Copies of this chain bind each other. A is one copy, B any other.
Amino acid sequence: MKGKTKDVPQRTLERLTLYRRLLNALHQEGARHIYSHELADMAGRMPAQVRRDLMAVGYAGNPARGYEVEGLIKSMRRFLDKPGGQNVALVGAGNLGKALLAYFKGRRPNLRIVVVFDIDPNKANRLIGGCRCYSPARMAQVMKARDVRVAVLAVPAPAAQEVADQLVAAGVQGILNFAPALLRVPESVYVEDLDMTMALEKVAYFSRRGPARKKVSRGA
Binding site for B on A (CB under 8 A): 1-3, 5, 7-10, 13-14, 17-18, 21, 42-44, 80, 82, 86, 88, 95-96, 98-100, 102-104, 107-108, 111, 149-150, 152, 172-176, 180, 182-192, 194-213, 217-220
Question: Interface residues of A: mostly helix, strand, loop or mixed?
Answer: mixed
- Asked if A194 and B205 make an inter-chain contact with CB atoms under 8 angstroms apart, the answer reads no
- Asked if B180 and A21 make an inter-chain contact with CB atoms under 8 angstroms apart, the answer reads yes
17 contacts between A and B (CB under 8 A): A1-B210, A13-B201, A13-B202, A13-B206, A42-B182, A88-B204, A96-B103, A99-B99, A104-B200, A111-B204, A184-B220, A186-B220, A189-B207, A190-B203, A190-B207, A192-B206, A194-B196
Q: Which residue of B lies closest to A151 (CB)?
A: B203
A103-B95, A190-B211 known; A108+B201 contact, CB < 8 A: yes
The smallest C-beta distance from A95 to any residue of chain B, in angstroms, reads 4
Total copies of this chain within the assembly? 2
Q: Which residue of B lies closest to A86 (CB)?
A: B204
Known: A150-B207, A188-B210. 20 other contacts (CB 8 A): A1-B211, A13-B205, A13-B206, A13-B212, A14-B198, A17-B197, A21-B180, A82-B208, A95-B98, A95-B99, A95-B103, A96-B99, A103-B196, A150-B200, A172-B207, A174-B206, A176-B199, A183-B218, A188-B211, A194-B199
Residue among A2, A17, A96, A108 with most chain B CB within 10 A:
A17
- Asked if A198 and B9 make an inter-chain contact with CB atoms under 8 angstroms apart, the answer reads no
A182-B42, A184-B219, A200-B176 known; A194+B191 contact, CB < 8 A: no
Which residues of B sit under 8 angstroms from A3, Cβ to Cβ?
A: 209-210
